[in-house]
């Protein structure tokens, strides 16, 4: 690897001049046009590339953003990651990502890892149990944005879809279509965004004077296996024989649900209407195609980066730091 010193030596000038030119501070230090050109040409010729470790050590800035998601192999998160990385490139930032698998221990570990790597800012999909760590980042004034979920009452910038609104949208639609007996299949996680989805389900029923029966909610554990989930959903739907509609609160639950529905051999939407939170290729292709509440992934990712870049001082601060993105009801054939 060729260094600033090498260029300086080759040109018989001081390393400082080379550094100044290469970091674009030549003008304000009034270095001669001639020297500037000579240095730039030589650097290109020798194929100079700055050693980021050295820059990082010296400046305290790594030009790296740390991204923590739940699971990078999940389509929702990998799409977010992809967009964030694309957007970050415009600002010459790199992205280092980690997955938590929704495990607090692992979440803390990867956060520590990113901190060790001196990332300049964080975009985090937090797990339950990371509250203290997140608050510490705030205390140390680290640029930070929460994504997809947040903690109640914590004053941190965040972007997420309006979960309440999303479920409300879907429920209103089901009800408009004539369903009253609607089941809700969700995951047993104590995270705000899941609570919001459930709350919207209950509230919308109440708003329409439909009595809420708690047996109409199925809560699966987060780590349930595919087989077990399919079994439980099948039993749930079979037991609630008079069900007219079912709402799946996440896309992977929806996919499990489709497997169950296939086993039950139900006629959709005639026997049972189906709607799912969060879109997926499967839902478009399934017969009948499935109505969903779509999260604008691109917009979420872009907004997260926008909030972060503002904190990093590259753009003006945004007026709102806690942003709810409007979900979209995509009507297909299952409702």
Partner DNA sequence: CTGAAAGCGCTTACAG
Distances (CA, A) of 186 to 27, 29, 164, 206, 210: 60, 62, 14, 19, 20
The contact pattern for DNA, residues 15-44, with x = CB under 7 A and - = no contact, is: xxx-xx-xx-x---xxxx-xx---------
Dist CA 203 CA 212 (whole Å)? 9
Based on the shown chain and the rule CB under 8 A, indicate whether residue 5 belongs to the binding site for its own copies: no
Contact letters (x/-) for its own copies, 242-281, by CB under 8 A?
Answer: -------------x--xx--x-----------------xx
Q: Which is nearer to its own copies, 14 or 112 (CB)?
A: 112
Distance between CA atoms of residues 18 and 196, nearest Å? 56
Which one of DNA, its own copies, none interacts with residue 29, CB within 5 to 8 A by kind? DNA
Residue 50 token pair: 């700055």
Asked if residue 13 binds DNA (CB under 7 A), the reply is yes
Q: Which does 4 bind (CB under 5 to 8 A by kind): DNA, its own copies, none?
A: DNA
Q: Does 221 bind its own copies (CB under 8 A)?
A: no
Strand order in the sheet with 182-187: 217-220, 182-187, 245-248, 273-277, 291-294, 328-330
The stretch near its own copies (CB under 8 A) out of 29-37, 80-88, 147-155, 204-212 is 80-88
Say how many Å lie between the first and final Cα of the chain, rounded. 62
Bridge partners (DSSP) listed for residue 122: 66, 144
Return the number of the residue (6 or 263) whose C-beta is nearest DNA. Answer: 6
Q: What does 90 bind: DNA, its own copies, none (CB cut-off 5 to 8 Å by kind)?
A: none
Q: Tell me: does residue 55 bind DNA (CB under 7 A).
A: yes
Q: Is 56 in the site for its own copies (CB under 8 A)?
A: yes
Nearest distance in Å: CB 92, DNA: 13
Buried b / exposed e over 115-137, threshold 16 CB at 10 Å, is beebbbbbbbbbbeebeebbeeb
């Amino acid at each position: 690897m060729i260094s600033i010193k090498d260029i300086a030596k080759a040109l018989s000038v001081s390393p400082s001049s080379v550094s100044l030119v290469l970091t674009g501070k030549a003008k304000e230090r009034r270095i001669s046009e001639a020297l500037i050109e000579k240095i730039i040409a030589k650097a290109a010729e020798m194929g100079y590339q700055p050693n980021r470790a050295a820059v990082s050590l010296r400046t305290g800035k790594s030009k790296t953003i740390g991204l923590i998601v739940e699971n990078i192999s999940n389509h929702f998160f990998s799409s977010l990651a992809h967009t964030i990385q694309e957007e970050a490139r415009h600002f010459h930032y790199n992205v280092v990502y980690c997955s938590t698998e929704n495990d607090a221990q692992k979440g803390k570990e990867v956060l520590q890892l990113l901190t060790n790597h001196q990332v300049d800012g964080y975009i985090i999909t937090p797990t339950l149990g990371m509250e203290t760590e997140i608050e510490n980042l705030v205390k140390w004034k680290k640029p930070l944005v929460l994504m997809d979920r947040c903690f109640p009452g914590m004053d941190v910038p965040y972007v997420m879809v309006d979960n309440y609104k999303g479920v409300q949208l879907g429920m209103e639609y089901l009800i408009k279509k004539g369903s009253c007996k609607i089941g809700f299949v969700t995951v047993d996680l104590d995270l705000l965004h899941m609570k919001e989805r459930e709350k919207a389900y209950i509230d919308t029923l109440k708003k329409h004077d439909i009595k809420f029966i708690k047996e109409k909610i199925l809560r699966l554990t987060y780590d349930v296996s595919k087989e077990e989930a399919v079994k439980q959903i099948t039993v749930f739907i079979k037991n609630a024989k008079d069900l007219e509609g079912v709402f799946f609160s996440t896309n992977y639950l929806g996919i499990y649900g489709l497997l169950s529905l296939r086993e039950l051999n139900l006629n959709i939407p005639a026997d049972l209407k189906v709607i799912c939170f969060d879109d997926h290729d499967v839902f478009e292709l399934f017969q009948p195609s499935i109505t969903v509440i779509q999260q604008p992934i691109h917009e979420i990712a872009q907004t997260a980066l926008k909030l972060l870049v503002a904190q990093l001082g590259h753009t003006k601060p945004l007026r709102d730091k806690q942003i709810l993105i409007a979900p979209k009801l995509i009507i297909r054939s299952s409702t």
